[in-house]
Amino acid sequence: MLRLLLLIALWLPLAATAQVAERVVSLAPNLTELAYAAGLGDKLVGVSAYSDFPPAAQKIEQVANWQGINVERILRLKPDLVLAWRGGNPQRPLDQLASLGVKVVYLDPQSVEQVADALDKLADYSREPENGHAAARQMRQRLQQLKAQHPEHAAVPVFIQFSTQPLFTSSGHTLQSQIVSLCGAENIFADSPAPWPQVSREQVLSRAPKAIIFPGTAQQQAEINHFWQGQLQVPLLAVNADWFNRAGPRILLAAQQLCSEIDALKR
């Protein structure tokens, strides 16, 4: 019995660190940001194209892009953890990696709460998990602060515009729509059954938005104005595309910016 207890005592420390990752590959830009925020940045050995934040990520070898995943190169990097996006990465190479013994963790957060949950999940793979858990707590605290500052009433109807040709927006089942709602605005296509619906100019005009929110720069406002040709003369709110489009820690920076601009519309 004593020998058994000694064996268990020796095994427990190993079990506690069994998940710690020393070589990590990220297959999406937002997953790269999550890895850094969770304390795994110094363990990244491979990333996807457009992994440009933080700046240190730009120096890491790229092993995936819109054309696919370079399984051979990933295997040469000998990762013990691959971070994947089920909605955007092709499944076949991920199954191939898993069949070869590579641990694949899927992260596809659809809300601010789920971004925080992803940080908690990744923190468990770090040698200093408290860093990631602290980042998750800070996100949740900031989310609650924004909710308290923007009670759900007198919402401003807005159109979230992602492109012009074709004209795409988002439904209420997206992270972007949640951010808009959080700031006291109402996504005019929140009721769409498709998460990323293609809509017509006439559909937008019939719902009479009081503002257009678009990911991009102020310089792109001229393009948006030209598209509407005076048919929709409302304020254009440009938000940093990386903040708004990526399901990562910086989504709350987009929220802070939009909340300030939407508050100004209500004055």
Residue positions forming the annotated binding site for cyanocob(III)alamin = 50
Q: 107 Cβ partners below 8 Å, 6+ apart?
A: 31, 34, 83, 84, 85, 118, 121, 122
Amino acid symbol at 174: T
d(CA 174, CA 171): 6
Establish how many alpha carbons lie within 13 A of residue 13's alpha carbon, considering only the half-sphere containing its beta carbon.
4
* Pure H helices in 124-232: 129-149, 175-182, 201-206, 221-228
Burial class for 246, CB neighbours closer than 10 Å (0-12, 13-18, 19+): buried
Burial class for 77, CB neighbours closer than 10 Å (0-12, 13-18, 19+): middle
Q: Beta partners for 65? A: 68
Determine how β-strand 68-69 pairs with β-strand 62-65.
antiparallel
Give the closest residue to 89 by CA, choosing from 35, 40, 38, 48.
Answer: 48
* Bind-site residues: 50
Residue that is written with structure tokens 């793979």 in the block: 125
